[in-house]
Amino acid sequence: KNQVEQSPQSLIILEGKNCTLQCNYTVSPFSNLRWYKQDTGRGPVSLTIMTFSENTKSNGRYTATLDADTKQSSLHITASQLSDSASYICVVSRRGEKLTFGTGTRLTIIP
Amino acid sequence: DSGVTQTPKHLITATGQRVTLRCSPRSGDLSVYWYQQSLDQGLQFLIQYYNGEERAKGNILERFSAQQFPDLHSELNLSSLELGDSALYFCASSVDGTGDYEQYFGPGTRLTVT
């Protein structure tokens, strides 16, 4: 069964600290992996999208890594800000098929 | 602003009723996806349309139906509503229907069934 699992389920960190969110997937054959940020009650917003051949991709303070051999991805957030409080969703795509969504990591940044 | 619009923003209705949610994709995007997100749950894929044709189906109930019109806007129809249908409904659009390209999400419609 094609699955996407994220950890931790929730995370609380102090403003200014770094954190790393994890995503493990069993989706195969793999097409691409995306990380989305979703503020409460709003639509998800794309942070990064990586294909099989990409190991790392950055978007400002967000850096995503991908290990297609172990089927793992991580999202690293540097120097967290209060506005980073949101759910972060890992999404994996099989070529030509619907996306498989993880259940997300809820991140809370406290001052 | 993703360029995807959804109306209405909020909808409150009673059990047994029928509602229609509307989505306009980004200019140039041919594919529209519908998702349901219940409270504190992940996004559940419902259905995808590409250039007017149904492309993929997910966990969509028989009471729900959708269509995409020639101008590419889409409507999601929910009938015989139950309390459990209360959720956020998101529409997303992308340039093609393969899943290889970015999906842009709308702001969502919050449906409350009382």
Q: Are B57 and B50 in contact (CB under 8 A)?
A: no
Nearest C-alpha in B relative to A34:
B102
Asked whether the beta carbons of A66 and A55 are under 8 A apart, the reply is: yes
- Mapped onto helix, strand or coil, the DSSP state of residue A84 is helix
The answer to whether residue A97 neighbours chain B at the CB level (below 8 Å) is yes
Q: Are strands B87-94 and B74-78 parallel, antiparallel or unpaired?
A: unpaired
The partner residue sitting opposite B108, judged by closest CB among A34, A43, A98, is A43
Q: Which one, of B81, B99, B89, lies nearest residue B10 by Cα?
A: B89
Closest CB to B99 among A43, A93, A103: A93
HSE-up of residue A72 (Cα within 13 Å, Cβ side):
6
Nearest chain B residue to A91 by CA distance is: B43
- Say whether B83 sits in a helix, a strand or coil: helix
**Nearest CA-CA partner of A93 in A22, A38, A5, A29:** A29
pLDDT in tens, chain A (111 residues): 668 999 999 999 999 999 999 999 998 888 899 999 999 889 999 999 999 889 999 999 999 999 989 999 999 999 999 999 999 999 998 876 778 889 899 999 999
What is the pLDDT, as a whole number, of residue A1?
Answer: 66
Taking only the tens place, the pLDDT of each residue in B68-109 is: 999 999 999 999 999 999 999 999 999 987 777 889 999 999
pLDDT of residue A98: 73
Q: Chain A residue closest to B46 (CA)?
A: A98
